[in-house]
Homo-oligomer: A and B are copies of this chain.
Amino acid sequence: METRERVVRAALRTLADDGFAATSARAIARRGGFAPGVIYYHFDDLEHLLLAALDWTSERRLARYRDELAGVTSAAELLGRLRSLYVEDLAGGHVAAVQELVAGAASSPRLGPAIVERLRPWLELTEEVARGFLAATPLEPVVPAPSLGLAVVAMYLGLETLTHLDRSRSPAESLFASAGPAAALFDGLLGRGGATA
């Protein structure tokens, strides 16, 4: 593995496991098995490394979401895939790392806008999926896809926060589970039962 990627992955793992406050250059270097100086060879400062770590996990997760959601035409299928993807988000430390960065942004004025900026491709993907689902339904003229996309991204962010605040519960899981009948109704009404699994 390239050294830069080793540094990025060590930073991500430290964020997810130890939290923002404990994610020092020293802690990242210890986790990755390299000297702290290696960090500053590749990155201007710790904040740049943390944003590179966010880019790394965000791009990989986004690619997974794009792959899994491409060609999905039924709401039931969409729901099932989102549920599996969310389990991956949790297991891989993506949710924890993102939430720790969001928390850390409270003590770093540059971090907040940089994180919001990195949500843009997620908004675009969500908008694209929303557009496909709204197409040719009575909702199409009254629900703007960008707004629906924003609402869904905000809901995900909030669910991640709830999950991260209290790791003993899993609000997202209960939400996915209870959305099944609504997805089936949507598919039934619009004749979208045929999933392209």
Binding site for B on A (CB under 8 A): 19-21, 99-100, 102-107, 112-113, 115-116, 119, 138-139, 141-144, 146-147, 150-151, 153-159, 161-162, 164-169, 171, 174-175, 178-179, 181-182, 184-185
Contacts and interface: CB of A to CB of B under 8 A. Distances in A.
B175 A106 contact: no
Copies in the complex: 2
A167 B164 CA distance: 23
A15 B146 CA distance: 33
14 contacts: A102-B103, A103-B103, A106-B164, A113-B165, A113-B168, A119-B162, A138-B185, A150-B175, A151-B155, A154-B159, A154-B171, A155-B155, A157-B158, A158-B158
Given A19-B107, A106-B99, A106-B100, A150 B171 contact: yes
A104 B19 CA distance: 11
Q: Is the interface of A mostly helix, strand, loop or mixed?
A: helix
Contact of A184 (B104, B142, B146, B158): B142
A186 B20 CA distance: 44
B107 A105 contact: no
Contact of A158 (B146, B161, B166, B178): B161
Nearest to A117: B166
Contacts of A174: 147, 150
A168 B185 CA distance: 40
Contacts of A169: 116
A20 B20 CA distance: 14
A185 B147 CA distance: 16
A74 to B, nearest CB: 15
A103 B102 CA distance: 7
B106 A147 contact: no
